[in-house]
Amino acid sequence: MPDYPHPSSEGRSANMRANRRTDTKPELALRRALHRLGYRYRKDYRLDLEAGRRVRPDIAFTARKVAVFVDGCFWHACPHHGSKPRSNEWYWGPKLLKNVERDRVNDAALILAGWTVVRLWEHVPVDEAVATVVTALTATSAAPTDQDQPPDPVG
């Protein structure tokens, strides 16, 4: 018996191959909106934390130590929109639970390393997501830098 289920059809297989780890539509929309406001960041930036833990926030403001994750409703088991697959539940149930547990462990490791963690669901409207990120950036005590601070308006 394999460690993973075989796809039920070639169409399902193609669908699963098309899922992206980075540059999802909600993530791109958030990045564009933040960039439009003048914020600069690193995307999919690997952070090597204590005890060998590696974390890749979708968006990282390194000077301010703010890590932003845009979580997909299916892959991270959104309580409102996450769906539980009916076929191959023996595989998907534990896999999705493991994703959620990994998120919590990564959050704790980032917080222990002095980072502020922002987790957003993919269904959150872009303007609301931007406001949440900007609030987190404003709340950090690090001095603003050219890298992740919007430019001063010219008057």
Tens place of pLDDT for every residue, the chain, 155 residues? Answer: 456 666 666 665 555 555 666 779 999 999 999 999 999 999 999 999 987 899 999 999 999 999 999 999 888 888 887 677 777 788 888 888 999 999 999 999 999 999 999 999 999 999 999 999 999 999 985 445 545 556 555 44
Q: Which residue has the tokens 């990994």?
A: 102
Report d(CA 107, CA 109) in Å as an integer.
5
Question: For residue 77, how many other CB atoms are within 10 A of its CB?
Answer: 18
Go through the domains of the chain in sequence order and give each one's CATH number: 23-139 (3.40.960.10)
Q: What amino acid occupies position 103?
A: D
Coil, strand or helix: which one is 121?
A: strand
